[in-house]
Structure 1
Amino acid sequence: MKNNQNMNQQLNQIQQESKKLAQQEQQNAAQLQQQQGSQKAQNMAQMEAQAAQELENMAQGAQNLQSQNSAGQQAPFGTEFASETDVQEVKRQNQQSQRNKK
């Protein structure tokens, strides 16, 4: 549980930092686009916009991981391990199947 909390804190920091950097990249791109004369400025603006998009994707990825961690905390091992009653039911069905074969 503590590991998930630590990971969520780190993911939160990544998400916030990524969004902040993405905003800066978008501002840089907007400024470069205003310098219309230069092809180099246009290329730089395009690169800044692409970097901003990648940072936004990184922030979204961090948020998705946080969601997965939260879901894991609410229902630990819910889908990975069978409950005791499920195990007993499978054993019962196997025994019945063995009897039917005889």
Structure 2
Amino acid sequence: MNPGWVYIVTNKPRGVLYVGVTSDLEGRIWEHRNGVYRGFTHSYNCKRLVWYEDYDEIPDAIHREKRLKTWNRDWKIRLVEEMNPEWDDLFETIMW
């Protein structure tokens, strides 16, 4: 099995939302936090992990990511708030 993660990062509570997919959540969030790639998340300072889902297979995670990217902003906010009503940075709380 090749696991996958779908995640949302933001710059502040209810700020800019970025939906991404990865096979290495810890490594990918580290990259966001350290500005490894100069793209959307770097430009908007999206470093706070506020939501995630794990999948047994990366193709399932990719499918979910593509669906979430079509959602409107209010739906994504509701999704985050169901898991993380305070918009805490979950990166430090996940047990790797």
Q: TM-score, normalised by structure 1?
A: 0.21
Of Structure 1 and Structure 2, the greater strand share is in 2
Of Structure 1 and Structure 2, the greater helix share is in 1
Larger RCO (alpha carbons 8 Å, 6+ apart): 2
Q: TM-score, normalised by structure 2?
A: 0.22
Which one has the largest radius of gyration?
1
